[in-house]
Each structure stands twice: as C-alpha cells, then as structure tokens.
Chains A and B, each alone.
Chain A
C-alpha cells in the first residue's frame, strides 16, 4: 500500500503531461496560430516559459515521488536521516532559480515595450488611429473619421458609425483608440493575442498588425454586468483598398436622406 501512494504521486503528473501533449491535436490549445506580428512574439515567450516550467514540473514531481518511494521501501527498523538541512543546497536552489527568473523577466521587456510604450509604436500609426472603439453594455460602437479626415476624440459631424464590426487594414500596422461609455470592459481578440481594458475616463491607444485578411472574433474580457458574455463582435481585416471602399459605402448609407423607398419595401 505504501508503494501504491508513491506511485500515485508519480502517476498523476504523467497524466497531466500526457493531457497537455495531446491537447493541441484535440483543439484544447490556442484557438489558432497567432495572426498578428506581436502575437508571434507573445507565443514565442509562452513556449519559452512552457519549456522551463515543464522541466521544473517534471523534475520536482519526480523528486517528490522518489522521496515517497524511498520512504515506502524503507524497512520499518531503519531510521530516518537526521538532518537539519544543507547550507550548500540552500545556496544552489536559491541562486539557480533566481537566475532563471531574472532571465525570464528580461526576455519579456522588449515585447512589453513594443505593445504598450507609445514611443515604441510603429511611426505610421502613432498619431493615426483608424477608428475609435467605444465599449458599452453590451456592445461595441465603432466610430470612423469621415474619409480623408483625422479621427478626433470629440465626435465630428462627418464621422461614420457602426456597431460590433471593426474594419481595419491587414498586413500593415493599425491603431485604434479604445474607450468605454459606461463601466469597464476589455477589448480581447484571441487570435491576435490582443487584450486591453477599456477604462472609464481614459482613451487608450491599441495597435496591432494583422497578417492576413479575414475575420477575427472580438469579445469582452472584463466583467461589465449580466450581459458580459454576449459582447460578441468581429474585426474584419481587409486590404487598405477594401477598407476605404467599405468606408465609402458606409458614408453613402449614412448620408442617405429621408426615407429610402427601395429599402422600405425590402424591410417588410
């Protein structure tokens, strides 16, 4: 029975590793490979930590299981090892992890700066947000400047509006301004590895470079009330030409004067 317990503590880490090993093939892993430039760097850092952590996990669990095994196979007449510890070991297992942890911290700094420090943003986007994303319970309101104009923080007469769909150019860096009208929300685009809280009273610039045209789900990652789970929206990345065509179309729709007869009949 004693040996059973030692094996028990060896067994479950094996199961854990096994589950993680098959996870990517079963869809229990990232929703897709990262589809933004920063996403690649983030995933790289994730895998670096994953390797370090896996080695530590296996090492410590194996040692724990072995200590149990030793105890389980020890004759009942043999006495325990009388020791108050070892100065040398303490020094080793303080310094080695300290180096590893500092190393991990240092590897993060550049990427963090690229993501968050405004002076490190790509020049082309730094002062040129393409849209304002305004979160509110429980939807995303998008405001684009009138084509050819710059986005202002205060809404302008020619601005274009849409709900729950953000059109941005692919393959070049883009930046949006994130705000909230009411409570705190968070702008989360899993496939791009982008997340930023929308904080009441602040306007926060968020930049990313989507590699390929396509649709990316956008959801809310900060509890904002009972409907938090249904703030479902999408980001549509298109060629710059596609985006400006979309904006022109949007402008036309918005400027349509009075009751559009054609549309009214369709709505029946």
Chain B
C-alpha cells in the first residue's frame, strides 16, 4: 500500500466496465440503491427530518418547564390528536416526552447522521474507492432504520393513548422491567426495546462495512497516515461501535426476556434484573434473584462509548474543515489520531462514572474517577490542536468555518463541565440534576450538531453539485448559536441550584420556585433556536435545485473526494485516484510552486521529484 502503483490504465478499464453500463430502474437508483452516495443522502434526509421531530418533542418538554400544566399551542394540539388531552401535558405524558426526545435524538439523529450519512457518503470518496466493500449490506443498514422507526412509532401508542415509553433513554429496571411498575412500562417499553435493537442492527451492519472498506479499499498511495482525520474518526468509531454494541443488544434481549416472562410465565422464566421481594403497585412480592445494577453496567458499557460514537466523527470532519478554511495543515496530525485512539480506548473503562451514586463499591468509584479524568486529556489535546490549526491561518469566514469554530468553543464548555462530574464527591451533588443536562447538550448539540451543520454545507456541493446559500447559513448559525447558549448555559446554574432532571413540575419544591423566570427565558431561547432550523431545511432543499453550481472543488480543498465530479457518478471517480501526499498540504511550498494554496492528494509531483518527499 505504501508505494504507488502506476497502473493507471488497467484501473481505468476495470472501473468503467464494472459500473455505469447497465441501466438502472428508478427504484434501484434512488430507493433500494446500493450506491453509498445515495444511501448516505437517504440517511441524511431521514435524520434531518428526525431532528425536527426530536426538536418538537424537546420544545414540548421546555413548554412544560416554563408554563407548567398550561395548554401547549400547536405542538400540544398535534400530540393531542393522539393523546387527547387538549394540549395539556400530564405527568406520564411528560416522562414520555423526554424519553422519546432523547431516544429520537440519540438513536435516530446523531448516531445515524454521523456514521450513516457522513460515513457512507465520505468513506469511499475520501479513500478513493468506487463503493463500500459490501454494498448490499450497506443498503440494508439504511433500510433497517425503518423497522426501527416503526417500532418507536408504535411504542407511542402501544400502551394506550396516554402512555408512550417513559422510563428515560437509560430505561433502568426495575421500572422498565416490571410491566406493572408504571403506565409506560407496558407494551410501550417492549416496542421501545425492539426499536433500540433494530437501530443496533443497522449500526452494526454499517460498522462492519466501514472497517472493511477502510482497511481494504484504499486507493494506491493512500497509506494510513495519509488518511483524512474524517476517515480515522470513522474507522475508530466503527471499531468502538462493533465492540460495544453487542453488549447493549444482549442487555436489551435480557430485558425483553424478563418482560416476556411476565406475559408468558409458563414458557419463559428470567429475572435478570429483578431481585426478590419487590412490591410494585401492591402486587405480590417478586420472586427471583436478579440485580438491577447489572443493567446499569451493561447499558453504560455500551452507552459511554456511544457518546463518543456521537462525537468522534464530528471531530474528524471538523479537523478537515478547519484546515481547509484556515488554508493550513492540521496542527499535529498524528497527535490528533492518537488522541482519538486514546479516547476510544479509555472510553471502554469509564462507564462507571454514570453510576457514582448507585451504591456500587467505592473502590470502583475511585478507579472510574481516575480513568474519567484521564479521558479529558486527549479531549484537551484535540482542542489545543484545533486552535493551533486556525492559528495564523488565512481564515475564510464562511458559515462552514463559523460552525466549526463554534464546535471548538462549545466543546470546551462540555469538556470542562465533565471535570466537575468526574470528581465523585462533586458529582454526588450534580448527578441527575440539570448540570448533567447542560454537560451533554454542550457536547452533543454544541459540538456534534454544529459540526454536522458545517459538514452539511461543506460536502453539500459534492452531494448535489450545487452550493448552499452562505448568507442564509450565517443567519442560521447566529440564531442557533445564541439560542443554544440561551437554552443550555443556564442549565449549569439550575444544576448548581439543585434542580433535578426529569421533573414534570420542579416548582412543587419551594427552593426551586424562584427559578421559573429563568426557565421561561430558556424556553424562549429554545423556541428561537427551533424555528431557526427551518432556515437550514429551506436552505438545504432549495439549494438542491436552485443553489449556485459548484465545480469539482469549490473550496479548493485537498481530499480525494474533490477530484471526483460533483456529484460523482456511479463508481465515483472518472479518473481512478492515486494518492501522492497527506490530505492537509495547504499553503505548502509544493502548492505554491503551482501558484495556489492547496494541492490535491491526487496531484502527481513533477517528474524527478521523489514521490515520498512530503513528510509530516
């Protein structure tokens, strides 16, 4: 792999013959397509629409916190159609709202938009492959999202009109285990678990594909350390996903078995998570020797790595975009790779930090605290390197850059709040308060979602051959940035004030009453932010048809994808790419010799120059 095969011609033919000559029906081309680009765009559009659904659920949560028990306009009416409560939110409905908000955002938006949409679209293009290693599996990974969404949708109504799944995205047993434990613990919970499992199946198919493709299908000359950081991040994420996910799937099945044993007591007997002697709702005491903490261990063994699955790809993409928009190489490419690997490795040994108050052995608490503190280190290294990347660059202040800069600025906040929570004694106070909610929204919204906004605009011309409107994108950026901080920054203060999360009415408690005006301010910020997303949607869909036409390389970037036509045809590259250098040689002497400030990875060095001349 390290040396360059000059076999251009032979490649050319095999590609041209393999693809393009057979006619495809509309269905093969746009619906059940095996083309990674179509699948990526399918994922992208599905997840962006799901983002709006998740957002609507969030606004309903915010409505209740700002105007408790008052009829909610518009959204309340829509939900009222299903739940018939005249727009007023009942406590069990409230538990459903935050549960489904988190489930939709995590499992139907963030994970599939990063791996499914960007991973699919970018991996073959950036490594110079004509498609994924397993195109059919790839297609299935998209189409398995639909039964998953179907199960989540059924779960809304499965337990009757007022009770969707309401046990939190973490669904701790015994609450989520015994069907009698709450109105939302019935069939809704089972359907929710099916949905979760199917999302897992989809992710697993994707991950296997990504790993194989990245290992096996790189273009000649694309050595590991010439891969863009996006590819590194997708690679590491796929590894994380495929090692962690089986544990969640197993835990999900265990919970399903526990639940089915209550329905079919003569066929199935399991009590993985239910100890003996539990009395819910005046029912007879349970028999069995299960252990509810087992769920927490299994769940977080997956879900802590999962929070990095929800971030690493954005980190990679932002590194690419920051370099391009600053017209400079990424500062510390190898430290960037190693720190992602360190995050992934450490990510497997920190899950206990979600359980500091759970009654687990304090010696374990100390271990998990230290490993958690250490995971802040690679995060810090990455922040320093991003700032180094921008430093003294020739910055292009477009919406792509601004969203990336926001990614860095807001990730800092989320990383720093993590330190408070890693410190066990301090976390004992903060656990399950709004401080936690502030923390993960700064990393997941502040970092990941801003990275996604940037990524959409950056690779849009490659997807559709047209550019998105930069002015509209800037307005969207400013409104979202202000709305985001207005909504989530005060949550730190609510957490310090001791406001617990998942409360339908915190003001029942005297010491929280005075926080109502602050919550109203946050809700107004959230509404502004929510409506600003219509700018994104409008800009996205209108630009597909009316955007300014883009050539192959509108950003003057270096990656292999920019040597392909926009949009690339089936099989991607008209000239099979050969990679001659790293992806970030902006403003290099070699580029200057050509009279430009970028140099494509595919540009052959002038004859006579040693091919391995460019080192990092």
Footprint of B on A, CB under 8 Å?
1-2, 5, 9, 12-13, 16, 19-20, 23, 27-31, 38, 41-42, 45-46, 49-50, 52-53, 56-57, 60-61, 63-64, 67-68, 70-72, 74, 76, 78-86, 89-90, 93-94, 97-98, 101-102, 104-105, 108-109, 111-113, 115-117, 136-137, 181-184, 186, 188, 190-191, 193-197, 199-202, 204, 217, 219-230, 232
Is B246 in contact with chain A by the CB < 8 A criterion?
Answer: no
Residues in B neighbouring A191, C-beta threshold 8 A:
511
Select the stretch in B73-81, B105-113, B260-268, B371-379 that faces chain A: B371-379
Can you name the residue of chain B whose Cβ is closest to the Cβ of A110? B425
- Chain A residues contacting B432 (CB-CB under 8 Å) are 186, 188, 195, 221-222
Q: B286-314 toward A: CB 8 Å interface, digit per residue (1/0)? A: 00001111000000000000000000000
The number of residues on chain B lying at the interface, defined by a beta carbon within 8 Å of a beta carbon of chain A, is: 115
In the assembled complex, which residues on chain A have CB atoms less than 8 Å from the CB atom of B481?
12
- The 4 A-B residue pairs whose C-beta atoms are closest, nearest first, are A201-B275, A71-B395, A190-B498, A85-B332
Measured CB to CB, the residues of B under 8 A from A are 90-92, 94-95, 166-168, 172-175, 178, 181-184, 274-281, 290-293, 326-333, 335, 357-359, 362, 365-366, 369-370, 373-374, 376-377, 380-381, 383-385, 387-388, 390-395, 397, 402, 405, 408-409, 412-413, 416-417, 419-420, 422-426, 428-429, 431-433, 481, 485, 489-490, 492-494, 496-498, 500, 502-506, 508-511, 514-515, 518, 584, 586-589, 592, 597, 616
Q: Closest residue of chain A to B278, judged by CB?
A: A200
Specify which of B167, B293, B333, B369 is in contact with A85 (CB 8 Å cutoff). Answer: B333
* B366:A79 contact, CB within 8 angstroms: no
Report whether A113 and B95 are in contact in the complex, using a CB–CB cutoff of 8 Å: no
Q: Which of A9, A53, A199 contacts B419 (CB 8 A)?
A: A53
Known: A27-B514, A53-B417. 19 other contacts (CB 8 A): A9-B409, A19-B490, A30-B497, A52-B419, A60-B384, A80-B587, A83-B328, A84-B331, A85-B330, A85-B332, A86-B332, A93-B381, A116-B365, A137-B281, A182-B280, A183-B181, A193-B429, A225-B184, A229-B502
In Å, the complex CA distance between A97 and B384 comes to 11
For B327, the chain A residues whose CB sits under 8 A away are 79-80
Which of the residues B426, B506, B616 comes within 8 Å of A49, measured between beta carbons? B426
Return the chain A residue nearest B392 by Cβ: A81
- The CA of A200 and the CA of B178, in the complex, are separated in Å by 12
Centre residue among A89, A94, A195 by max chain B CB count within 10 A: A195
24 contacts between A and B (CB under 8 A): A2-B395, A42-B428, A45-B423, A79-B587, A79-B597, A81-B391, A83-B329, A85-B331, A89-B384, A101-B374, A102-B370, A105-B422, A112-B362, A116-B362, A190-B498, A195-B429, A196-B357, A200-B275, A201-B292, A219-B509, A222-B432, A223-B168, A223-B502, A227-B91
A222 to B433 alpha-carbon distance, docked (Å): 10
Question: Which residues on B sit within 8 Å (CB–CB) of A111?
Answer: 425
Determine which of A98, A220, A225 lies in contact with B377 in the assembled complex, contact meaning CB atoms within 8 Å: A98
Q: Collect the chain B residues with CB atoms within 8 Å of residue A60's CB.
A: 383-384, 387, 412
Number of cross-chain contacts by CB at 8 Å = 327
Closest to A108 in B: B423
Residue pair A226, B91 in contact (C-beta under 8 Å): yes
Looking across the interface, which residue of chain A has its beta carbon closest to that of B482? A12
Partner of A97, one of B277, B331, B380, B420: B380
B426 and A42 contact, CB distance less than 8 A? yes
A177: shortest Cβ distance to chain B, in Å? 12
Contact check, A105 vs B172: say whether CB atoms are below 8 A apart.
no
Identify which of B182, B330, B588 contacts A82 (C-beta below 8 A). Answer: B588
- The reply to whether B405 and A28 contact each other, CB–CB distance below 8 Å, is no
Q: Is the CB of A85 within 8 A of B388?
A: yes
With A28-B497, A200-B278 known as contacts, the answer to whether A81 contacts B184 (CB < 8 A) is no
Chain B minimum-CB-distance residue to A42: B425
Determine if A16 and B485 form an interchain contact, defined as CB atoms under 8 angstroms apart: yes
A89: shortest Cβ distance to chain B, in Å? Answer: 7
Q: For residue B512, which residue of chain A has the nearest CB?
A: A31
Contact between chains at A23 and B493 (CB < 8 Å): yes
Asked if A79 and B416 sit within 8 Å, CB to CB, the answer is: no
A92 CB → nearest B CB, Å: 9
The residue on B at minimum CB distance from A56 is B416
Q: Is the CB of B182 within 8 A of A226?
A: yes
Within the complex, what minimum Cβ distance (angstroms) separates B381 from chain A?
A: 6
Residues of B within 8 Å of A31, CB to CB, are 497-498, 511
Q: Which residues of B lie under 8 Å from residue A182 when comparing CB positions?
A: 174, 181, 278-281
Nearest chain A CB to B9's CB is how many angstroms away?
Answer: 34
A53 proximity list for chain B (CB < 8 A): 416-417, 419-420
- Whether B166 and A226, one on each chain, are in contact in the complex, defined by CB atoms closer than 8 angstroms, is yes
Assembly CA distance A244 to B383 (angstroms): 58
**Cα distance A102–B422 when bound, in Å?**
12
- Residue among B292, B333, B381, B405 making CB contact with A68, cutoff 8 Å: B405
- B381 lies within 8 A of A94 (CB): yes
Chain A residues lying within 8 Å of B417, measured Cβ to Cβ, are 53
CB-CB under 8 A from A5, the residues of chain B are 397, 402, 405
Q: Are A45 and B426 in contact (CB under 8 A)?
A: yes
Across the two chains, which residue of chain A brings its CB closest to B91?
A226
Bound complex: CA A46 to CA B290 (Å): 37
In the bound complex, what is the Cα–Cα distance between A217 and B497 (angstroms)?
13
Q: Are A112 and B424 in contact (CB under 8 A)?
A: yes
Do B500 and A61 touch across chains, with their CB atoms under 8 A apart? no
Q: In the complex, what residues of A have CB within 8 A of residue B365's CB?
A: 112, 116
